[in-house]
């Protein structure tokens, strides 16, 4: 199979329905942007993809690599090729970036081959340095505790570094532009662009158009009140940039009320 298909997805948090029937298809090699006002369910969609325990899927399917992954454990989804770059990456005290990434990488290798002895330290270091250079990161970064005391820009770069290391086939980037200054935004975007090839499908979740000046989407979707209400090409993002979200609210609030 060539990507991810979301069919009529309904998701609730503590009994409150947030996603009310999302349909979306992402193929490898494509870049999608999901835009929309705050509180319409964009991040919920991202978390539900990864199987966060607080997000309950009440209806619908997520077909990935030929199987419905709705019941699949979070770590298994990741090893199958799904990735989420978090909007707010949490600190993991006492665990260095290098140790964490090596553990994650070896978990993947062992899932494929239970006899695998893990990547050699030498190969790992070489690989990590290459990826860090791609994101213009100081090599000393590898020895720091993951996300602990990281600046906003460092956190987002660390997310993309993980994506570069784990090589997913579908990646959700949740508000990756938030908290970034213009230089960091450029570096992170260049990193994503360098990774986005025919083997990777990317879903960029963003409130603002500015990230899309750096990461060019093939498709743009607008999310409103738990549904995708408009889909189109890059021109849709430009329209949002120009007109804001008011017209979306105007056009769809009646649908919502009904």
> Which residues of the shown chain bind other proteins in the complex (CB under 8 A)?
50, 52-53, 73-79, 84, 86, 89-95, 99-100, 103-104, 107-108, 111, 145, 162, 166
In sequence order, what are the residues at sequence separation of 6 or more whose Cβ sits closer than 8 angstroms to the Cβ of residue 242?
none
Nearest distance from residue 86's CB to other proteins, in Å? 7
User: From the CB of residue 118, how many other CB atoms can be counted at a distance below 10 Å?
Assistant: 14
Smallest gap, in angstroms, from Cβ of residue 69 to other proteins?
13
Q: Which is nearer to other proteins, 86 or 219 (CB)?
A: 86
The DSSP string of 53-122 is TTEEEEEEEEEETTEE-TTS-HHHHHHHTEEEE-SSPPP-TT-BHHHHHHHHHHHHHHHH-TT-----HH
Q: How far is the CB of 115 from other proteins (least distance, A)?
A: 17
- Shortest separation between residue 104's beta carbon and other proteins, angstroms: 4
Return left, alpha or beta for 141; rule: phi > 0 is left, psi -120 to 50 is alpha, else beta: alpha
Phi, psi of 210 (to 5 degrees): -60, -35
Residues across the chain:
258
DSSP code of residue 142: G
Q: Between 27 and 109, name the residue whose CB sits nearer to other proteins.
A: 109
Shorter beta-carbon distance to other proteins: residue 90 or 256: 90
Which CB sits closer to other proteins, 173 or 228?
A: 173
CB of 165 to other proteins, least distance (A): 9
Q: Give, in degrees to the nearest 5, the angle at Cα 42 between 41 and 45.
A: 85
Q: Is the dihedral of CA 200, 18, 247, 181 positive or negative?
A: negative
Residue 81 or residue 226: which is nearer to other proteins going by CB? 81
User: Is residue 170 within a helix (H) or strand (E), and if so which, with residue range?
Assistant: strand 170-174
When the beta carbons of 46 and 132 are compared against other proteins, the nearer one is 46
Tell me the C-alpha distance between 79 and 155, whole Å.
22
Closest distance of CB 67 from other proteins, Å: 17
Smallest gap, in angstroms, from Cβ of residue 239 to other proteins?
33
Cβ closer to other proteins: 19 or 82? 82
CB 49: neighbour CB atoms within 10 A? 25
């Amino acid at each position: 199979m060539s990507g991810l298909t979301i069919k009529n997805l309904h998701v609730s948090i503590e009994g409150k329905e947030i996603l009310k029937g999302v349909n979306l298809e992402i193929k490898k090699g494509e870049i999608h942007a999901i835009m929309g006002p705050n509180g319409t369910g964009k991040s919920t969609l991202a978390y539900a993809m990864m199987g966060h325990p607080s997000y309950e899927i009440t209806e619908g399917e997520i077909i990935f690599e030929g199987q419905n992954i709705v019941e699949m454990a979070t770590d298994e989804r990741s090893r199958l090729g799904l990735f989420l770059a978090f909007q707010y990456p949490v600190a993991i005290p006492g665990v260095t970036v290098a140790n964490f990434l090596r553990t994650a990488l070896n978990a993947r290798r062992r899932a494929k081959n239970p006899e695998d002895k893990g990547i050699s330290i030498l190969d790992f270091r070489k690989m990590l340095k290459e990826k860090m250079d791609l994101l213009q990161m100081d090599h000393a970064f590898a020895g720091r505790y993951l996300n602990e005391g990281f600046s906003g820009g460092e956190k987002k770069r660390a997310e993309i570094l993980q994506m570069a290391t784990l090589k997913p086939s579908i990646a959700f980037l949740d508000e990756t532009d938030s908290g970034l200054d213009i230089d960091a935004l450029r570096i992170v975007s260049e990193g994503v662009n360098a990774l986005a090839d025919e083997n990777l499908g990317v879903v960029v979740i963003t409130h603002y158009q500015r990230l899309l000046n750096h990461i060019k989407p093939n498709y743009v979707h607008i999310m409103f009140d738990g549904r995708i209400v408009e889909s189109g090409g890059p021109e849709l993002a430009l329209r949002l940039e120009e007109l804001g979200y008011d017209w979306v609210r105007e056009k769809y609030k009646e649908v919502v009320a009904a």
